Amino acid sequence: MDFGVIDLDEETVAFWAEVRAFCQTHVTKEVLDEEFETGSGFNEGLHKALGARGWILPTWPRQEGGAGATPLQAAILDAELRAAHAPLITLGTTRNVLPAVLRWGTDELKKAVVPGVASGDVRFCLGYTEPDSGSDIAAAKTRAVRDGDEWVIDGQKMFTTGAQNCQYSFLLTRTNPEAPKHKGLTMFLCPLEQAEIRPIRTLGGERTNMVFYDAIRVPDRYRLGPVDQGWMVLLGPLNAEHAMPEDTDSAPPIDQPGGMYGYSAVEGLEVALAWARSADPDGRRPIDDPLVRERLAQAALDIEVATVSTGPAGRVISSEMAIRVAEDLMDLVGPRALLPRGEDAAIGEGWLEYLHRFAQGTATYGGTTDIFRNIIAERFLGLPRQAPRAG
Amino acid sequence: MAEPISAPILRRADYRLSEEEQALAEAFSAFFERSCPSERVRAAEPWGFDAALWAELAPMRPVAMGLPESLGGDGAGLVELVLVTEPFGRSVAPVPLVEAAVAARLLAAVATAAPGGPADAWVNQVIDEHKVVTLALQPGGGPQLVPAGAVADAVVGLLGDELVLGVCPAERAARRPRNHGFAPIAWCDLSDPECSFRPLWSGPSARAAFERAVREWKLLMASALIGMAQATLDIGVEHARSRVAFGAPIGSFQAVSHALADVAMAVETGRRLVRKGAWYAAHEPDEDVHRVLMAYRYATQTAMTAATVGVHVLGGVGFTVESDPQLYFRRVKGWTLVAGDPKAALSDIADALFGPVAIAK
Ligand SMILES: Cc1cc2nc3c(=O)[nH]c(=O)nc-3n(C[C@H](O)[C@H](O)[C@H](O)COP(=O)(O)OP(=O)(O)OC[C@H]3O[C@@H](n4cnc5c(N)ncnc54)[C@H](O)[C@@H]3O)c2cc1C
């Protein structure tokens, strides 16, 4: 057990300073305004600037396009970018898919895409969900049929977030409709040039997409792993997204305030505290009211619980915490909390207004909180298979 | 070139136990599992004390271990003690472990800071004769219900700015009320002349030492509560695997499994919160106040939820006195409410985090 202060060597302090300066230069007000407007989760200039520093894959060696950073430095980089609100959804999905490409891609494919990932020119999105299947990922129907050295892909994906920013989708297809559900799937790193992308707007402001694959032709070299064994290929990135223990253990052991999904609530509390500490014309401050204090203390407690939470439990706890805290802090602050970023009288640049919408989505994407309760019940508590399921 | 920044503060978040810590936790787990099955908990009802068990536990020095070596203890700290009280809570053993450990540490603090008083002799008696000293959790005079008051050889408390220690006459100590938690609580009044309360130490340091002792009680109890929650979770999971209704194990119904999953998440997270709180209390005592209170608040909530879920998942049987979850149901409430409303921790957390309330002029 150790929660002590980490002694940072000079190099790490210098690295930190470099990251701060980078954020000031590249995560500008224009970048943030644009993200608030578009919800794109990506900014090309920023992404390429990260690539130029080797910060897309910071722990990779320099000669392979990384920055040779330590895991601690990489964690500092992520924390600073997060605090600056840099739009990084597409960076996240790209990093998430890369291990599967490295593990399953042919040398030819790796040579074609990996240097571009490091430089920022090549980005990946996640093509799992379909109109008729989400939680039940393996029920995907998008067909891939072999035709000589090519595959013909036909179907529709839903919620392919960042597709508009990406060259490839990590695409889940069905290659054998006769086989049991999990045994007829094949994964592709599918080029998106021929796909049709239509935007979907969300309550949280994030943009995501429908993607139509209308009999597009894809050379076999874009296949990842064996035919019909796509489930095995998918599990790596899926487990990483699900914060399964084998993944979280390798992360450097430093606190992530608010846990997996709750950082925005940490900032929400800061906004509410600043509000509570400011006096009205009569000199009265909300923070001197016992009821206000208890609500703020409850939020602080909720946030600390999320901060220490980890793994699949952390996924659920941090998400539900953010939803609850956002909702309650809005009520506490009152009508002015309704004003969004850009309104003159907005409190904390409208952060609570945003947080209340944003937090709700965290309970759905990346596997819903209900699915996670199933996972905890089955895999961690050893309870029987949850609810009757086909296939 | 980047502007230099002064080294920002970054902390580790390492929850792993060392080998010694692991061994300590396992030794106490093994003891309580072996020596305190639920029949023994039941046998000690309604008064909640098993003197033989306390004697069996004594060679493991659960109280002396938390005292400084200079006074004859083993020099362990709060990090170790929470590892002891978790398995204790798991078995809801009818022994006054938390109170005894905390009051002994308070006496040791007095004996160290202000030697030459009666605290010195009491520390020796605690170590050598396994005497039980308990802590009156509410400061000030007037009747209060003191945990382990019915079985303690002496009571320490705060009267005004003075730490006092008293020994009540036998008939006084026998004033134990029946209670919800089947706990050995007893009425005690720090201003009662018959209990001959004597000053141990006075002034702001004495008050601070008392307040620290109350926080330590909450911390060790929080860990016990996590143990209690774990125990009821285990019972519920076991039942949900085997009990069949409508042709399926009830653990496949999400109303059942998700309730258990929620408890599992809270137990795991609460345990981490307790350990983090213990580490801060041991290593950076000025930083610990809100952390300990948070751990306590979250643990009380987690353990009570776990107990209600445990009783519920067992169905009708869960509500009978033969069920084990009800043992926990009673004790989660009974062992904690003596420290006052657990939700009131929020206002203390607010004081610790946001500073005192400004008084309007
Ligand atoms: C903003 C956003 C971004 C997204 N980004 C991506 C992306 O990049 N790539 C991608 O592939 N997908 C993405 N998704 C899709 C997301 O992963 C799915 O929406 C999610 O997994 C739920 O699937 P569904 O929408 O089909 O709902 P359904 O699976 O139909 O679920 C509906 C409801 O039923 C519940 N439910 C379903 N099955 C069970 C069960 N077995 N037990 C208990 N409850 C159950 C669910 O929890 C949910 O509440 C995104 C979604 C959103 C909102």
- pLDDT one-digit tens code per residue, B253-269: 999 999 999 999 999 99
Contact B360 A284 (CB under 8 A): yes
Residue B8 has pLDDT above 80, yes or no: no
Whole-Å CA distances, A108 to A30, A96, A125, A148, A220: 39, 21, 20, 19, 11
Q: What is the pLDDT along chain A (391 residues), one digit of tens a residue?
A: 999 999 999 999 999 999 999 999 999 999 999 999 999 999 999 999 999 999 999 999 999 999 999 999 999 999 999 999 999 999 999 999 999 999 999 999 999 999 999 999 999 999 999 999 999 999 999 999 999 999 999 999 999 999 999 999 999 999 999 999 999 999 999 999 999 999 999 999 999 999 999 999 999 999 999 999 999 999 988 988 877 654 444 556 788 899 999 999 999 999 999 999 999 999 999 999 999 999 999 999 999 999 999 999 999 999 999 999 999 999 999 999 999 999 999 999 999 999 999 999 999 999 999 999 999 999 999 999 987 665 5
Contact A1 B258 (CB under 8 A): no
Ligand 1 atom nearest to A157, measured from its CA: 11
Hey, what are A74's tokens?
């990489």
B19 touches B79 (CB < 8 A): no
Q: Is residue A388 part of a domain?
A: no
Contact B12 A6 (CB under 8 A): yes
Spatial distance between the Cα atoms of B245 and A128, rounded to a whole number of angstroms: 36
pLDDT at site B316? 97
- By percentage, how much of chain B surpasses pLDDT 90? 90
Hey, what are B298's tokens?
């979250």
pLDDT at site A251? 56
**Nearest beta carbon to residue B17 from set A1, A316, A377:** A1
φ/ψ of residue A124, rounded to 5: -120, 145
Q: Is residue A59 part of a domain?
A: yes
φ/ψ of residue A273, rounded to 5: -65, -40
pLDDT at site B361? 45
pLDDT at site B171? 72
Spatial distance between the Cα atoms of A61 and A49, rounded to a whole number of angstroms: 17
Q: Mean per-residue pLDDT for B232-261?
A: 97
Domains of chain B, each with CATH number or no CATH: 212-354 (1.20.140.10)
User: What interhelical angle do A44-53 and A89-104 show, nearest 10?
Assistant: 50
Instruction: Write the CB contacts of A247 (distance below 8 Å, at least 6 apart in sequence).
Output: A239, A240
Contact A3 B280 (CB under 8 A): yes
Q: Is residue A172 part of a domain?
A: no
Distance from CA of A192 to the nearest CA of B (A): 38
Q: Is residue A2 part of a domain?
A: no
pLDDT tens digits along B74-92: 999 999 999 999 999 999 9
Examine residue B356 and say whether the peptide bond preceding it is cis (omega within 30 degrees of 0).
no
Contact B257 A386 (CB under 8 A): yes
Q: Is residue A341 part of a domain?
A: yes
Contacts B252 to A, Cβ<8 Å: 383-388
Q: Is residue A136 part of a domain?
A: no
Residue range(s) defining the domain that contains residue A349: 259-380
Mean confidence (pLDDT) of chain B: 95
Indicate which residue's Cα is closest to atom 32 of ligand 1. A135
Ligand 1 near A206 CB (within 6 A): yes
pLDDT at site B186? 95
Ligand 1 atom nearest to A129, measured from its CA: 11
φ/ψ of residue A58, rounded to 5: -60, -35
Whole-Å CA distances, B177 to B244, B334, B335, B342: 42, 12, 14, 22
Q: Is residue A210 part of a domain?
A: no
Q: Buried b / exposed e across B199-230, counting CB within 10 Å, b at 16+?
A: ebbbeeebbebbebbbbbbbbbbbbbbbbbbb
**Nearest beta carbon to residue B272 from set A300, A308, A373:** A308
Residues A115, A116, A122, A123: is their CA dihedral positive or negative? positive
pLDDT at site A247? 44
pLDDT at site B2? 62
Q: Are strands A168-174 and A124-127 parallel, antiparallel or unpaired?
A: parallel
Q: Is residue A44 part of a domain?
A: yes
pLDDT tens digits along B149-197: 999 999 999 999 999 999 987 777 678 999 999 999 999 999 988 888 9
Q: How far is the CA of A139 from the centre of ligand 1 (A)?
A: 13
Among A2, A3, A307, most B C-beta atoms within 10 A, so best to mutate, is A3
Hey, what are B251's tokens?
């653990």
Q: Give the CATH number of the domain where residue A32 resides.
A: 1.10.540.10
- By percentage, how much of chain B surpasses pLDDT 70? 97
pLDDT tens digits along A105-137: 999 999 999 999 999 999 999 999 999 999 999
Q: pTM for the full model?
A: 0.95
φ/ψ of residue B46, rounded to 5: -95, 0
pLDDT at site A245? 55
Q: Give the CATH number of the domain where residue A265 resides.
A: 1.20.140.10
Spatial distance between the Cα atoms of A150 and A286, rounded to a whole number of angstroms: 66
Residue whose C-alpha is closest to residue A273's, from A295, A242, A305, A249: A295
Say how many domains are in chain A: 2
pLDDT at site B194? 86
Spatial distance between the Cα atoms of A301 and B354, rounded to a whole number of angstroms: 13
Q: Mean per-residue pLDDT for B10-14?
A: 92
B75 touches B68 (CB < 8 A): yes
Ligand 1 near A370 CB (within 6 A): yes
Ligand 1 near A368 CB (within 6 A): yes
